[in-house]
Structure 1
């Protein structure tokens, strides 16, 4: 028969969260306990959210009590606050569910399980798992975008330069190896037309060139990828001397 207990007491001592299971039936004489599975591993905690890890413990029938504690391996990690957890026991399986929030330390954690029989004899097993913070996409910006020379004569080369940067924990760092496109909107037009593609180098720097044929605005566009959001530069106006040439 499946027994389900909700709201186990979670006691925190010295940075350790202790989860205590109930009583199991006694049948075997050789006390034995092992951590059979930890899932998921790593535990990925979303920003502002919660993620739960299930720790499957197998204990022999003579185990009267099973206790699980989890703590970060980093001894400098802050003490955890008490949490509500639950235990799902079926036969020799004691499955502990432990919630994590984005306020919990990331890195390697150790799970320690202790089984106790009716005579007070104990058996212990340990295993480690990882807790990670889910990384959202980093914001980007295109800085110092410039089209030059300005003014420029019709048919002459027009150069573009700028820097693609990503926000890394408050610091703007250059993004290398990203594709940036240059677009043009001539005077009197509402639409943008593609001009050139280029790839960022060390420090996020990029350059590109085209021929100047008509006055108008240019801009640089980064579409983004799996790790970064897209961004668009401020437009830069260039006046072309000599009229329209097609």
Structure 2
């Protein structure tokens, strides 16, 4: 796709052009005592984006050098390495670098925001594991550069519904619970059924604090769910999906059933 080809070229060129250090290659490299640590992406949570939406996240890390930190930068990317990436994001700062705040004579906390947008730098093929490329340079020109300073998940937003019927129902009679699991299609800007996925049917008895799992069912070829259960007591039924590397976890709203 043109977007992916263009994204690779831009990221590769940027990664190499911003480095004011010798041997500016994409692979890990260092000189002296400069270090990067404590890399955190989106507060440690997956980055979940809907079919037509975007998500702005914060990436932070600590940089240290015995002379102090001159500057630092992080780039987010998907692919084997940054030179062969098929999508990515750079910082939302004018110079595309992180903003570093001095903590001590040798340490700085650096952070910046990044935006991931459906149908732009997010397409279905790049859902899943992403990486953080990072560099920091000391005031004495020592530096460290990491190809994979941190990994994180960029996930397609999932939606899940549940409907139990009939309502009300006689005790001991059969309830049919139907629903559907869909997820964001970043390529088309819509939601589509997520097929062949295990989903838990859960029940919370009226007055109980949480749900218990009754059974696991799989979505059909259109992402639909259908199963039956015996009605035993008043309470709420819901479906719950644990998520995958490419798709967010989600639980439906509970559907309350009055048992007569």
- TM-score, structure 1 length as denominator? 0.51
1:30-77 CA distances to partner (integer Å, 9 max, x unpaired)? 94211132235736446444221222111122x684443434251333
Larger radius of gyration: 1
Q: Which structure 2 residues correspond to residues 1-246 of structure 1 after superposition, within 5 A?
A: 14=13, 16=15, 31-39=32-40, 42=44, 44-45=46-47, 47=49, 48-61=54-67, 65-72=70-77, 74=79, 75-78=84-87, 80=89, 83-84=92-93, 85-89=98-102, 90-103=104-117, 107-115=130-138, 117=140, 122-126=142-146, 128-133=149-154, 138-142=159-163, 159-169=174-184, 170-171=192-193, 173=195, 176-179=199-202, 199-203=214-218, 204-208=225-229, 222-223=237-238, 227-230=250-253, 232=255
**1:18–1:139 CA distance, 2 compared to 1 (3 A):** farther
Corresponding residue number in structure 2 for 1:217: none
Question: 1:130 Cα deviation (Å)?
Answer: 2.4
**1:221–1:67 CA distance, 2 compared to 1 (3 A):** closer
Work out the CA distance in 2 between the residues paired with 1:54 and 1:64: 15
Count of residue pairs brought into register by the alignment: 185
**1:138–1:15 CA distance, 2 compared to 1 (3 A):** farther
1:152-191 CA distances to partner (integer Å, 9 max, x unpaired)? xxx9x9654454432244205565431369xxxxxxxxxx
8 A Cα contact 1:43 1:130, kept in partner: no
8 A Cα contact 1:70 1:109, kept in partner: yes
**1:98–1:32 CA distance, 2 compared to 1 (3 A):** same
Q: CA RMSD in A?
A: 5.0
**Secondary structure class of the residue paired with 2:252:** coil
Higher percent of residues as strand: 1
Higher percent of residues as helix: 2
1:111-162 CA distances to partner (integer Å, 9 max, x unpaired)? 2334463xxx64424251123347766221449x689xxxxxxx9x965445
8 A Cα contact 1:20 1:65, kept in partner: no
- TM-score, structure 2 length as denominator? 0.49
Structure 2 unaligned residues grouped into runs of 5+:
1-9, 21-30, 123-128, 185-191, 205-211, 219-224, 241-248
